C-alpha cells in the first residue's frame, strides 16, 4: 500500500490526479478500504425543479444563472489531508464547473472528528467561510452542539471509536461503517457532491431492509414510505392547518434513524445540522437517500446505535438533554379557541368540577401583552387566577411572537409593548427600507415580528413578559404557550397590502357583545347572576402594568396603507441579486399556500416566502431569514424560557410551542398543531408522537378531540383515553366548532373521568421517565419496534406504542367499535387494570367489549411500576397519596423499575430528591437508591403479579400482617404497610 504522504505529494505535483486510492480512518490504522458489495453504486438520476404549466402557479425565474443539470456535475477532489488523533482535516477542490443551481464554491474544507465512542462528525464547508452556519452555544444555546473541534482534542481517537470513516480521493466521497460488525451506514460514492451558495446535494446508498424514521415534522407513516415513487420529505417550518400528509409541517428536524430488519437487526442515526430548507429524496424506490438543501454547510453527525433507542439517546446527547417540567404540568389541560370572556373560563372550570372530572390547567389564547377591558378586566382575571390557585389549579396563556401594529382605525400610541419595541428597534426591518418595520398579518391584524437574534429584542421580550405577568400588577400565569412561531403570516408575499389582507381575513376577529350572566358560577362567587361581564368589579384592584413613555425611536414605525390601496408586489420580480433569496434556483416542495388560499388540486402561489416573513430580511446577527427561517420557533422558545426564568428564577418553566428545531426540547415542549376531529387524525397523531421520540422531545401531545371540525361523542371518548397517554395532555378545539369539553357528553364524561384518574395514578411513573430523558436521553415514548427490534413484525405497527418503558398502549382505532385487534410480541404482559397475565407469542389478539371507561393497557413483564393509590382531583392532592408498587416479572421471574421524587417545582432541587431503584430477583424485591426527598412518600401496598402459587410476604424479615393471594389473577398482595420509602427488602417465601 502506498503511504498516505507519498500519495499527497503526487497530488500536489500532478494537480487533479486520475488515480483514486481509497483510504480508511478508524479501527486503529489507516488502510485501503475494501469495496463494499452493493454499496458503491455510481448511478445517478437527474432531479430538477419542476416547471408547472398550471396558470394558478406563478413561476418566477431565479435571477441566478443555473443549468438544473445535476448529472453534469463531477464533484470535488481531495487535494490534501492531515490525519490527527481525533480525526482528519482535508481540503477539496472543484472538478470542473457545475452551476446546477448557481455558482459553485471552488474550495471546501473537510473536518472529521470522533466526538464520542458512538458519535462521529463530518463537516464540509466553504473555505472562504461565506456559507451560513447554524448558531452554536457560543452564540445562543438553541441546542447543545458546539463548534467543531479545530485540533481534534476533547473527543475520542480513531482507535477507540466504534465508527470508521473511509474516503475516496477523486472524486471525493466518504463512507461510515460500524467497527464491530462492519456494517456500512452511509456511502456517498453513488453521486457527485454539489456545494453551491444556494444548493447542496449529497446522496447516500441505503442498506437493504432500511426503515427510515424521522426527517420531519410531517404526518406520514412513522417508518417513511420510501419505496413510493418520487417520495420526498420537505423540511421547512410552516403553518399547516389540518396536518395534511406528505407535506412539511410546523417543525424542522433534519435527523433520521434507520432501523434495519432481517437476520441481524440493527439501527443507526444521522443528523444534518443545517437550518436551511431542504428536500430529502429517496430515489429509485428507496435505494438512496439524497439531501437537496437550499444552502449552508454539510455538518453531519453519525450515531452508531446499534439499537434504535441507543441511536436516539446518542442524538439527544448531541443536541442537548430536554428540560424537566413541573409535576403539575402532567395533569389534564383544557383550552378553547374562542373563550369570549373570563367568566366563560370560570364556567368551564366549574363544569369540570361538577362532573367530577379532574382539571388541572385552564388555558387562554390570543393575548399579546394586552387584556380586553370589557371581557377580561384585569381585576377579574386576577380573581380568576387566585381562585384557581386556592383550588390547586393552574393557568396558562398564549403569547404569539407577532405584535399588533394596528389597522388604520386603531390607536396604538398607548400600546406599550409595541412602542417599546419601536423604541428599542427590536422588529424585523423592511428589506426595501431598513428604516421601516417589516409588517405581516397575523391574528391581531397588521403585525411586526421581533428579531430574536438581537440582544435588544431578547431583553425587550423579557421585560414585557415580566411586566405583563407580574403577580401584583399583572396576570400571574403558571406557564406559557407560544404559537404561530414558524413564523406564520396570513400575507402572501405577492400581496403587500397588510390593511386589505387583514380586512379580508377578518383579523382581528369581531367578538360578540358582552353578555349578562344567567347564574352565579360555583366556586367563583364574584361572578354573580345578573352581572354584565363588562361591568368592572366594585372596589376592584384596578392597577395595571406600568405604562412606559415612548421615546425617540431607533426604528421607524410602519407606514400604513389604506384598504383601497392597489399596491402589490408585481407578479414578476426584477432579477436582481436580492430576489435570489425569495426565488431560489432550486425549489423545495414546500406546501406554500395555506388551505384557504389553495386551489382544489392543492396548488397555490409558489414562493418560499408565502405565508411567512420575507426570506430576504437580514437579521441582527447578519444572517438572512432565508437561512434561519427554521430557527425562528427555536429562538422564540429560548427567549421565552429566559423570560420565565427572569419571572421565577427558582422554578421549572413550562412552555409549549408549535414550531420546533432540533434541540428545542432543552427549552420547551411541543403540541402537534391544528389536527382535525376525525378518526384518521386520531390515528395519525400516534405516529406524530412517535416521531418526536425520534426527535428526542419527551413532552409532546396532540389536541385531544382534534382542533378543527366537530368531534363526535364516541371519538371524543376514545381520544380522552389516547390523550391520557401523551406526555402533554390537553383538550383543545377551535372557535367555529361545537364545544368538546369532556363533560358535554355522557360517554366522554365517563371516559374523561376514568382516563384522567388513571393518569393521576401513573403521574410519578410519567415524571420519572421524563426525568430519565432529561438525564440520559432515554426515549419517553417508544414504537413497538424500538422495544422489540428483533421482531420484524413490529416495524409496521404504528397504532400501538409504549408509554415510557413499561406500558404498552393499544387504543381502539375503528369508529364506534368496542373491539380492537392488537399485536402482542413474544413476551410476558399483564393487564394494567387487573394484572391478569398475558403471554405474547408474536401474534395478534382480539379484545372485545372494550367499553369507553377503559383502554387496552398492558405492563411489560420485567417492569416495576409505582402508582399512587386513592382519590385526587389535582396534582397537589395526588402527591399526598401513598404508593402502590406493582411488580410484574418477566419469564425469568425478574423485574426492575425506578422512581424519581422531588418537590416537582424547583429548578434546582439540591439534595432534596430521591432516586429510588426497585429490583426483583430470586423472589425478593430490593428497594434502594438515594433518599433525600423530605416530602411524604409512604408505600401502602405491594402487589406481585404472575404468581402461580401462594407464598408468604415478608417485609425486612417480618411477615406482613395483611396479605392475600388471588389464584384467578395470580397475584399476591400486601397492604396497610404504612412503609416509609427507603431501603427495604420484600420477600416471597
Residue among 293, 124, 132 nearest 628 (CA): 132
Q: Does 419 have pLDDT greater than 50? A: yes
d(CA 489, CA 610): 8
pLDDT of residue 24: 53
Of the candidates 266, 295, 319, which is a domain's last residue? Answer: 319
Same domain, 439 and 312: no
Catalytic residue among 220, 486, 627, 798: 486
Query: Is the residue at 701 inside a domain?
Result: no
Residue 963's CATH number? 2.60.40.1180
Name the catalytic one among 464, 483, 628, 644: 483
Strands 924-931 and 232-235: unpaired
Is the pLDDT at 61 greater than 70? The verdict is no
Q: Which CA distances in Å does 40 have to 163, 206, 260, 263, 931?
A: 19, 11, 19, 22, 56
Residues 533-540: what's their mean pLDDT? 83
Look at residue 325 and tell me whether its pLDDT is greater than 80: yes
412 and 308 co-located in one domain: no
Picking from 265, 159, 190, the residue whose alpha carbon sits closest to that of residue 36 is 190
For CA atoms 768, 772, 775, 780, give the dihedral sign: negative
Cell of 798: 404504528
Question: Which residues share a beta bridge with 430?
Answer: 433
**Hey, CA dihedral for 940, 944, 949, 952, is it positive or negative?**
negative
How do strand 963-966 and strand 669-671 relate by DSSP bridges? unpaired
| Three-class SS state of 948 | coil
* Residues in Cβ contact with 778 at an 8 Å cutoff, skipping those fewer than 6 apart: 309, 313, 769, 772, 805
Report the alpha-carbon distance of residue 980 to residue 502 in Å, rounded.
62
| Poorest-pLDDT segment among 85-89, 293-297, 345-349, 559-563 | 559-563
Residue 543 reports pLDDT greater than 50:
no
Nearest-Å Rg of the Cα atoms of the chain is: 29
Beta bridge partners of 84: 87
Say yes or no to pLDDT of 546 above 70.
no
The confidence score (pLDDT) of residue 321 equals 96
Residue 889: all three cell numbers together: 416479572
Q: What 8-state DSSP symbol labels residue 130?
A: -
- What is the band of 583 on the pLDDT scale with cuts at 50, 70, 90? confident
Residue 674 known to be catalytic:
yes
Please check whether residue 580 lies inside any domain of the structure: yes
Contacts of residue 792, Cβ cutoff 8 Å, sequence gap at least 6: 261, 262, 265
Strand runs labelled E in 250-297: 253-260, 266-272, 278-281, 288-293
- C-alpha cell of 931? 433518599
**Quick check: is 192 in a domain?**
yes
pLDDT band at 483 (very low <50, low <70, confident <90, very high): very high
Cell of 174: 466518504
Residue 488 pLDDT > 60, yes or no?
Answer: yes
Band (540; pLDDT cuts 50, 70, 90): low
Instruction: Kindly provide the residue ranges of all beta strands, DSSP E only, lying in 532-671, ordered along the sequence.
Output: 655-657, 669-671
Q: Write down the number of H helices and E strands in the chain.
A: 15, 52
Work out the average pLDDT over 798-818. Answer: 98
Residue 367 binned pLDDT confidence (cut-offs 50, 70, 90): low
Is the pLDDT reported for residue 369 higher than 80? no
The SS3 call for residue 497 is coil
CA distances to 325, 716, 729, 819, 887 from 851, rounded to whole Å, are: 33, 13, 21, 9, 27
What is the distance between the alpha carbons of residues 334 and 365, in angstroms, rounded to a whole number? 11
Scanning the structure block, which residue is given the C-alpha cell 415514548?
Answer: 781
- pLDDT: which is higher, 492 or 133: 133
How many CA atoms does the CB half-sphere of 98 hold within 13 Å? 26
- Here the CATH number for the domain that contains residue 304 is 2.60.40.1760
Q: How many CA atoms lie within 13 A of 663 on its CB side?
A: 27
Phi, psi torsion values for 404, nearest 5 degrees: -60, 130
Confidence of residue 608 (pLDDT cuts 50, 70, 90): confident
Is the pLDDT at 531 greater than 70? The verdict is yes
Grid cell, residue 608, equals: 418560499
Cα angle 522, 525, 526; round to 5: 140
Confidence of residue 879 (pLDDT cuts 50, 70, 90): very high
Instruction: Name, of 15-24, 386-395, 577-586, the range with top average pLDDT.
Output: 386-395
Grid cell, residue 961, equals 400482617
In the numeric block, which cell numbers belong to residue 897?
423499575
Among 215, 719, 632, 329, smallest CA distance to 457 is for 632
Cα torsion 592, 595, 599, 602 to 10°: value is 60
Catalytic-residue membership of 227:
no
Cβ neighbors of 580 (< 8 A, separation 6 or more) are 62, 63, 64, 102, 198
Sequence-distant (≥ 6) Cβ neighbours of residue 817 within 8 angstroms: 850
* Nearest partner of 763 among 878, 885, 903, judged by Cα: 878
Longest dimension (CA), the chain: 94
Q: Check if the beta carbon of residue 929 is closer than 8 Å to that of residue 946.
A: no
Q: Given a cut of 80, is residue 299 above it in pLDDT?
A: yes
Report the mean per-residue pLDDT for the chain: 89
Burial 494-514 (b: 16+ CB within 10 A, else e): bbbbbbbbbeebebbeeeeee
Looking at the DSSP bridge assignments, the partners of residue 859 are 807, 830
Position 14 in a domain: no
Position 259 in a domain: yes
Q: Which residues contact 240 (CB under 8 A, 6 or more apart)?
A: 247, 248, 249, 250, 591, 673, 674
Considering only 560-574, 594-608, 801-815, which range has the smallest mean pLDDT? 560-574
Return the higher-pLDDT residue of 874 and 559: 874
Question: Which of 18-22, 702-706, 830-834 is predicted least confidently?
Answer: 18-22
pLDDT exceeds 70 at position 564: no
443-447, 561-565, 971-975: least confidently modelled range? 561-565
Residues 482, 791: Cα–Cα separation, whole Å: 40
For the entire predicted model, the pTM comes to: 0.92
Tally of structural domains, the chain? 3
Q: How far apart are CA 841 and CA 827, in angstroms?
A: 7
Query: Of 266, 289, 319, which residue constitutes the final position of a domain?
Result: 319
| Domain assignment of residue 710, yes or no | no
- What pairs with residue 898 in β-bridges? 917
Cell of 825: 410480541
| CATH at residue 557 | 3.20.20.80
743 occurs within a structural domain: no
Task: Evaluate if residue 54 carries a pLDDT over 70.
Answer: no
Give DSSP secondary structure letters for 739-787.
Answer: P--GGGSHHHHHHHHHHHHHHHHHHHHHHHHHHHHHHH---SEE-HHHH
Q: Tell me the backbone φ, ψ of residue 769, rounded to 5 degrees.
A: -75, -25
Alpha-carbon span 239 to 367, nearest angstrom: 19
Strand partners, 398: 481
418 in the same domain as 311? no
**What is the DSSP code (8-state) at residue 591?**
-
Within a domain: 639: yes
Cell readout for 661 is 428545531
The C-alpha cell of 316 is what? 439527544
For the segment 595-602, the average pLDDT, to the nearest whole number, is 46
Q: Specify whether 111 is located in the same domain as 219.
A: yes
- The pLDDT of residue 662 is above 50: yes
Distances (CA, A) of 681 to 345, 410, 719, 799: 27, 40, 11, 11
Q: For residues 560 and 831, which has the higher predicted lDDT (pLDDT)?
A: 831
Percent of the chain with pLDDT over 70: 87
Average pLDDT over residues 246-250: 95
What average pLDDT does the segment 38-55 reach?
31
- Interval 295-307 mean pLDDT: 99
Q: What is the pLDDT of residue 139?
A: 63
Q: What is the DSSP string of 183-221?
A: -EEEE-TTS--EEETTEEEEEEE--TTEEEEEEES--S-
Strands 394-398 and 479-482: parallel
- Bridge partners for 374 per DSSP: none
Q: Which of 196, 628, 674, 734 is catalytic?
A: 674
Packing angle of the helix pair 455-468, 632-647 (nearest 10 deg): 50
Given a cut of 90, whether residue 575 has pLDDT beyond it is no
Order the strands of the 107-116 sheet from edge to edge. Answer: 76-84, 87-94, 107-116, 119-126, 298-303, 266-272, 253-260, 210-216
- The b/e string for 429-447 (b: 16+ C-beta within 10 A; e otherwise) is bbbeeeebbbbbbbbbbbb
Q: Residue 492 is part of which domain span?
A: 408-532+549-671
Q: List, for residues 105-161, the tens digit of each pLDDT value.
A: 999 999 999 999 999 999 999 999 999 999 986 566 677 788 999 988 888 998 899
The predicted pLDDT at position 141 comes to: 66
- Distance separating alpha carbons of residues 464 and 420, to the nearest angstrom: 9
Is the predicted pLDDT of residue 593 greater than 50, yes or no?
no
Same domain membership, residue 609 and residue 504: yes
Residue 604 pLDDT > 80: no
Has 159 been annotated as catalytic? Answer: no
Give tens-digit pLDDT for 716-769. 999 999 999 999 999 999 998 999 999 999 999 999 999 999 999 999 999 999
CA distance 579 to 61: 10
Listed residues 617, 650, 671: the one ending a domain: 671
**Whether the predicted pLDDT of 842 surpasses 80:** yes
- pLDDT of 35 > 80? The answer is no
Task: Collapse the DSSP code of 829 into the 3-class scheme (helix H, G, I; strand E, B; otherwise coil) and give the result.
Answer: strand
For 116, half-sphere exposure in the C-beta direction (CA atoms, 13 angstrom radius) is 13
pLDDT at 7 over 80: no
Amino acid at each position: 500500500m502506498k503511504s498516505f504522504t507519498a500519495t499527497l505529494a503526487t497530488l500536489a505535483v500532478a494537480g487533479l490526479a486520475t488515480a483514486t486510492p481509497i483510504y480508511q480512518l478508524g479501527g486503529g490504522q489507516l488502510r485501503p478500504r475494501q469495496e463494499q458489495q452493493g454499496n458503491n453504486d455510481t448511478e445517478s438520476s437527474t432531479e430538477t425543479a419542476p416547471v408547472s404549466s398550471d396558470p394558478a402557479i406563478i413561476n418566477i425565474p431565479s435571477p441566478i444563472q443555473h443549468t438544473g443539470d445535476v448529472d453534469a456535475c463531477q464533484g470535488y477532489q481531495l487535494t490534501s489531508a492531515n490525519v490527527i488523533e481525533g480525526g482528519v482535516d482535508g481540503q477539496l477542490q472543484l472538478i470542473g464547473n457545475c452551476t446546477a443551481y448557481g455558482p459553485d464554491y471552488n474550495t471546501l474544507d473537510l473536518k472529521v472528528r470522533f466526538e464520542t465512542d458512538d458519535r462521529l462528525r463530518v463537516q464540509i464547508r466553504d473555505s472562504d467561510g461565506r456559507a451560513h452556519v447554524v448558531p452554536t452555544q457560543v452564540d445562543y444555546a438553541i441546542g447543545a452542539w458546539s463548534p467543531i473541534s479545530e485540533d481534534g482534542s476533547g473527543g475520542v481517537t480513531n482507535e477507540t471509536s466504534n465508527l470508521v470513516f473511509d474516503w475516496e480521493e477523486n472524486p471525493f466521497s466518504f463512507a461510515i461503517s460500524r467497527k464491530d460488525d462492519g456494517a456500512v451506514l452511509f456511502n456517498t460514492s453513488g453521486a457527485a457532491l454539489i456545494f453551491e451558495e444556494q444548493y447542496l446535494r449529497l446522496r447516500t446508498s441505503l442498506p437493504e431492509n432500511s426503515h427510515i424514521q424521522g426527517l420531519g415534522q410531517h404526518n406520514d407513516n412513522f417508518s417513511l414510505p420510501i419505496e413510493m415513487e418520487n417520495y420526498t420529505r420537505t423540511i421547512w417550518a410552516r403553518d399547516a392547518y389540518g396536518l395534511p400528509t406528505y407535506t412539511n409541517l410546523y417543525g424542522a428536524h433534519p435527523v433520521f434513524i434507520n432501523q434495519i430488519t432481517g437476520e441481524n437487526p440493527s439501527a443507526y442515526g444521522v443528523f444534518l445540522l443545517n437550518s436551511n430548507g431542504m428536500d430529502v429524496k429517496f430515489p429509485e424506490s428507496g435505494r438512496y437517500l439524497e439531501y437537496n438543501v437550499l444552502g449552508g454547510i454539510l455538518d453531519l453527525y453519525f450515531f452508531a446505535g446499534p439499537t434504535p433507542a441507543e441511536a436516539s439517546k446518542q442524538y439527544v446527547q448531541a443536541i442537548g438533554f430536554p428540560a424537566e417540567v413541573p409535576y403539575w404540568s402532567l395533569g389534564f389541560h383544557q383550552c378553547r379557541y374562542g373563550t369570549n370572556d373570563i367568566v366563560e373560563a370560570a364556567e368551564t372550570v366549574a363544569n369540570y368540577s361538577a362532573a367530577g372530572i379532574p382539571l388541572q390547567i385552564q388555558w387562554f389564547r390570543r393575548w399579546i401583552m394586552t387584556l380586553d377591558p370589557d371581557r377580561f378586566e384585569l381585576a377579574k382575571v386576577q380573581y380568576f387566577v387566585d381562585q384557581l390557585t386556592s383550588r390547586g389549579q393552574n393557568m396558562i396563556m398564549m403569547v404569539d411572537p407577532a405584535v399588533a401594529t394596528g389597522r388604520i382605525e386603531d390607536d396604538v400610541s398607548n400600546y406599550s409593548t409595541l412602542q417599546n419595541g419601536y423604541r428599542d428597534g427590536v422588529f424585523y426591518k423592511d428589506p426595501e427600507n431598513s428604516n421601516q418595520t417589516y409588517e405581516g398579518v397575523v391574528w391581531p391584524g397588521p403585525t411586526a415580528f421581533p428579531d430574536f437574534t438581537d440582544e435588544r429584542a431578547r431583553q425587550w421580550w423579557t421585560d414585557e413578559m415580566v411586566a405583563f405577568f407580574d403577580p401584583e400588577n399583572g396576570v400571574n400565569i403558571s406557564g406559557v404557550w407560544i404559537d404561530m412561531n414558524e413564523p406564520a403570516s396570513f400575507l402572501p408575499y405577492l400581496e403587500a397590502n397588510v390593511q386589505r389582507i387583514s380586512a379580508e381575513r377578518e383579523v382581528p376577529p369581531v367578538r360578540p357583545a358582552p353578555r349578562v350572566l344567567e347564574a352565579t358560577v360555583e366556586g367563583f362567587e364574584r361572578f354573580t347572576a345578573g352581572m354584565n361581564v363588562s361591568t368592572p368589579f366594585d372596589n376592584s384592584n384596578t392597577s395595571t402594568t406600568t405604562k412606559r413613555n415612548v421615546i425617540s425611536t431607533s426604528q421607524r414605525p410602519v407606514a400604513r396603507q389604506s384598504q383601497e390601496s392597489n399596491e402589490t408586489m408585481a407578479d414578476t420580480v426584477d432579477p436582481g441579486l436580492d430576489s435570489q433569496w425569495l426565488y431560489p434556483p432550486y425549489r423545495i416542495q414546500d406546501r406554500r399556500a395555506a388551505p384557504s388560499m389553495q386551489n382544489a388540486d392543492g396548488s397555490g402561489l409558489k414562493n418560499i416566502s408565502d405565508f411567512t416573513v420575507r426570506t430576504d430580511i437580514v437579521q441582527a446577527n447578519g444572517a438572512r431569514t432565508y437561512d434561519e427561517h427554521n430557527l425562528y420557533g427555536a429562538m422564540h422558545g429560548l427567549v421565552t424560557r429566559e423570560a420565565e426564568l427572569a419571572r421565577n428564577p427558582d422554578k421549572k418553566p413550562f412552555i409549549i410551542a408549535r414550531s420546533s428545531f432540533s434541540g428545542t426540547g432543552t427549552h420547551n415542549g411541543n403540541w402537534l398543531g391544528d389536527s382535525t376531529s376525525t378518526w384518521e387524525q386520531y390515528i395519525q397523531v400516534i405516529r406524530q408522537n412517535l416521531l418526536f421520540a425520534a426527535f428526542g422531545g419527551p413532552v409532546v401531545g396532540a389536541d385531544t378531540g382534534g382542533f378543527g371540525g366537530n368531534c363526535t361523542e364516541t371519538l371524543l371518548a376514545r381520544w380522552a383515553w389516547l390523550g391520557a397517554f401523551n406526555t402533554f395532555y390537553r383538550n383543545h378545539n377551535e372557535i367555529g366548532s361545537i364545544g368538546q369539553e369532556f363533560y358535554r357528553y355522557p360517554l366522554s364524561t365517563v371516559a374523561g373521568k376514568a382516563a384522567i384518574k388513571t393518569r393521576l395514578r401513573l403521574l410519578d411513573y410519567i415524571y420519572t421517565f421524563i426525568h430519565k430523558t432529561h438525564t440520559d436521553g432515554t426515549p419517553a415514548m417508544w414504537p413497538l419496534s424500538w422495544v422489540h427490534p428483533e421482531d420484524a413484525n413490529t416495524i409496521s405497527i404504528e397504532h400501538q406504542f409504549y408509554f415510557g418503558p413499561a406500558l404498552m398502549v393499544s387504543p381502539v382505532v375503528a369508529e364506534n367499535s368496542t373491539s380492537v385487534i392488537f399485536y402482542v410480541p413474544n413476551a410476558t404482559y399483564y393487564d394494567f387494570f387487573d394484572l391478569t397475565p398475558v403471554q405474547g407469542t408474536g401474534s395478534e389478539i382480539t379484545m372485545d367489549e372494550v367499553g369507553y371507561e377503559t383502554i387496552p393497557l398492558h405492563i411489560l413483564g420485567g417492569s416495576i411500576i409505582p402508582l399512587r393509590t386513592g382519590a385526587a382531583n389535582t396534582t397537589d392532592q395526588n402527591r399526598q397519596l401513598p404508593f402502590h408498587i406493582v411488580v410484574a416479572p418477566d419469564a425469568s421471574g425478574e423485574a426492575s423499575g425506578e422512581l424519581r421524587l422531588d418537590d416537582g417545582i424547583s429548578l434546582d432541587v439540591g439534595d432534596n430528591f430521591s432516586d429510588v431503584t426497585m429490583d426483583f430477583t430470586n423472589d425478593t424485591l430490593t428497594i434502594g437508591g438515594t433518599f433525600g426527598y423530605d416530602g411524604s412518600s409512604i408505600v401502602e401496598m405491594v402487589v406481585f403479579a404472575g404468581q402461580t402459587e401462594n407464598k408468604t410476604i415478608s417485609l425486612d424479615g417480618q411477615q406482613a400482617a395483611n396479605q392475600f393471594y388471588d389464584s384467578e389473577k395470580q397475584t399476591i398482595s400486601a397492604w396497610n404497610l404504612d412503609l416509609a420509602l427507603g431501603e427495604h427488602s420484600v420477600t416471597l417465601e
